Structure 1
Amino acid sequence: MKAHQRPIHAVSMWVRRQPPKVKAFLAVVSGMAALVLIRSIVHDHDNLFIAAEAVHSIGISVLIYKLTRVKTCAGLSLKSQELTAIFLAVRLYCSFVMEYDIHTVLDLATLATTLWVIFMIRFKLKSSYMEENDNFALYYVLVPCAVLALFIHPSTSHNLVNRIFWAFCLYLEAVSVLPQLRMMQNTKIVEPFTAHYVFALGVARFLSCAHWVLQVLDSRGHLLVALGYGLWPSMVLISEIVQTFILADFCYYYVKSVVGGQLVLRLPSGVV
């Protein structure tokens, strides 16, 4: 083992031996430290949202390369892509009827790419699709998100149905990656392009979460009031945090694998 890798290996082994509560505490502390660092470096927090979109685009580019050049969809979850298409389609509808802006155009481009990925997995590259490992039941996330949206949604002047749809796509986005994580846990070994794509999602969602958290801190909580009343403002922030923590464990093992010079990521039991 190289000299510069020994401290990293020692730290990773120490973290792995800790009980779940200690690991959760370390994750929270690490996240807070990262937020403090970002706050001191990035003065315009809107740039964090732009950076999140850019990283997400890089992840999609890796996915396109995998499907067009490598010509395999092994390791990719069709169900995660379908959930992504659902929340993007709902969010596009809400954007058109509630508030049209530049993010609507970005969502349209992302939806078109996601539908293309679904087409490739279902038809062009179906022989390499690992369907037996993509066994996450979609109703586990669709039903809870729909029920939650019925009771907790924006308190704006828009049509009630549109407000429920908006809440639904927010909640669904937070958990849409779960089938992909389950599939990787089933296979235990994640090939590089899939790992790069999921890591890009994790970084993008952390940057998006940092954007919201820092905006709330800088406005001293006034931003939450501006989002409406009731539980909805808090759920917006909680959804962003949930998205980040869902992928945090995977990102840890990804970074550890890259530092260790491993081309293939091996996930231990219990990561997802």
Structure 2
Amino acid sequence: MNIFRLLADFSHLTSIFILIQKIKSSSSCSGLSFKSQVLYLVVFLTRYLDLFWSFTHSFYNTTFKILFIISSAYIIYLMLHEYKPTHDPNVDTFKIQYLLGISALLAVLFPSEYSVSEVLWTFSIWLEAVAILPQLFMLQRTGEADTITTHYLFALGLYRALYIPNWIYRYFAEGYFHLIPVVAGIVQTVLYSDFFYIYYTKIMKGKKFSLPV
């Protein structure tokens, strides 16, 4: 495993821990998109279904897959039960059925091979690329976010951005190249580009995060 993959995976895990800590410490899920969290759980469940029928995974991969599924489900539990009154569905209004539909269509039209596991894997790759849109849409509507939320989004975006040098490394070191995750990863990184810029120019300089509404 190369250093870029390692850093990406731990950045992803860090983003989840930051989010859980933000919810628990503030006793609130205000400012967080429930729809984005549901999409991420769908991503993990469809991508890691092989946990239930394959026992050839490394300890590292198995551990991370289980952590992602459990932590994502736990976040949804917190938002649905313990802190549900703090979430405003009138702000979290992005139409996720379009994201699900487009991801499903791309998975059916362009899988690496036509098998249930490969179609679901391809679906999860495309869905992950756009799963953050409901959260970014919420930020755009409210125009601001607390510092912990922005740290969560930065760590999540950094995770995907690190996969780009990971793919470059694998291409030259291993001769491996898979078009679907590369294109989806670039799309996801582009979606974060404005956020990265504002994060650098404001949060990194001690200013309040804000967007034009």
The TM-score normalised by the length of structure 1 is 0.73
Q: Following TM superposition, by how much is the alpha carbon of 1:163 offset from its aligned partner in structure 2, in angstroms?
A: 1.4
Q: 1:110 aligns with which of 46, 55, 68?
A: 68
SS at match of 2:90: helix
Q: Tell me if 1:251 matches 2:196.
A: yes
Task: State the match for 1:223 in structure 2.
Answer: 176
Within 5 A, what are the aligned runs for 1:79-90?
79-90=35-46
Q: 1:154 aligns with which of 112, 136, 151?
A: 112
Task: State the match for 2:29 in structure 1.
Answer: 73
Q: Following TM superposition, by how much is the alpha carbon of 1:219 offset from its aligned partner in structure 2, in angstroms?
A: 4.9
Q: Tell me if 1:180 matches 2:135.
A: yes
Contact 1:213 1:237 in 2 (8 A): no
Q: 2:148 aligns with which of 193, 196, 219?
A: 193
Contact 1:49 1:207 in 2 (8 A): yes
Bigger Rg, which one: 1
Q: Return the alpha-carbon distance in structure 2 between the equivalents of residues 238 and 118 of structure 1.
A: 28
Q: Following TM superposition, by how much is the alpha carbon of 1:146 offset from its aligned partner in structure 2, in angstroms?
A: 0.5
Contact 1:56 1:200 in 2 (8 A): yes
Q: Return the alpha-carbon distance in structure 1 between the equivalents of residues 125 and 51 of structure 2.
A: 12
> What percent identity do the matched residue pairs reach?
29
Q: 1:140 aligns with which of 98, 120, 129?
A: 98
Give a deviation string over 1:30-83, Cα, whole Å, max 9, x none.
xxxxxxxxxxxxxxx711111111112222221121111211111100000000
Task: State the match for 1:230 in structure 2.
Answer: none
Higher normalized contact order (CA 8 Å, seq sep 6+, divided by chain length): 2
Aligned length: 211
Q: Return the alpha-carbon distance in structure 2 between the equivalents of residues 246 and 70 of structure 1.
A: 28
CA RMSD, aligned part only?
1.8
Unaligned runs of 5+ in 1: 1-44, 225-232
